[in-house]
Amino acid sequence: MKSYYGKCACGNAEYSITLPQDLSCYTPRACDCDFCTSRKVEYLSDSAGRIEIRSVLPLQRLKQGSNQATFLSCPTCATILGVAYITDKVSVGAVNATCLVDKAALQPAISASPKQLTAEEKVARWLMLWSSLKITEHE
Ligand SMILES: [Zn+2]
């Protein structure tokens, strides 16, 4: 397992993603919805991986689309660090690959169109693709 780091534009929030394969083996997914394209978000995850998002200030949480996933952004610079699906049973997520320090090592992003999926199909897809997620925030 290897860990890679990413951070927001102002540096108040950061993440680490631990992946079973080298970063060069991964192709981030560029979601084609209006929300993600306007913010140029590309998602990276591995179901066998682990993500930890850390923030100096409480992260901003935003829901959109089918209202099930939560977008986590820095309250200071508004950079999206990643997206999460958290219930009392699971906590999974994907990071915004454009924040990665080693972004250049990734394969070019491919377009994904999850908006065509039903709410149930989306959750099934997240549980299959996303990594376990831990969030640490400090006041
Ligand atoms: Zn920031």
Give the DSSP letter string of 83-114.
Answer: EEEE-SS-EEEEEEGGGBTTGGGSPPPEEE-G
Residues, CB-to-ion distance under 5 Å, ligand 1: 8, 10, 12, 74, 76-77
Tally of CB atoms within 10 A around 108: 8
How many angstroms does the Cα of residue 112 sit away from the middle of ligand 1?
Answer: 26
- Which pLDDT does position 114 carry in this prediction? 83
How many angstroms does the Cα of residue 136 sit away from the middle of ligand 1?
Answer: 15
Model confidence pLDDT, tens digit, residues 104-118: 999 999 998 888 889
Low-confidence ranges of the chain (pLDDT < 70): 65-66, 139
The domain locations on the chain are 2-137
- Which pLDDT does position 72 carry in this prediction? 97
How many angstroms does the Cα of residue 50 sit away from the middle of ligand 1?
Answer: 22
Domain at 2-137, CATH class: mainly beta
State how far the Cα of 139 lies from the Cα of 130, in Å rounded to an integer. Answer: 27
How many angstroms does the Cα of residue 121 sit away from the middle of ligand 1?
Answer: 32
- Which pLDDT does position 68 carry in this prediction? 84
Tokens read off for 5: 């780091």
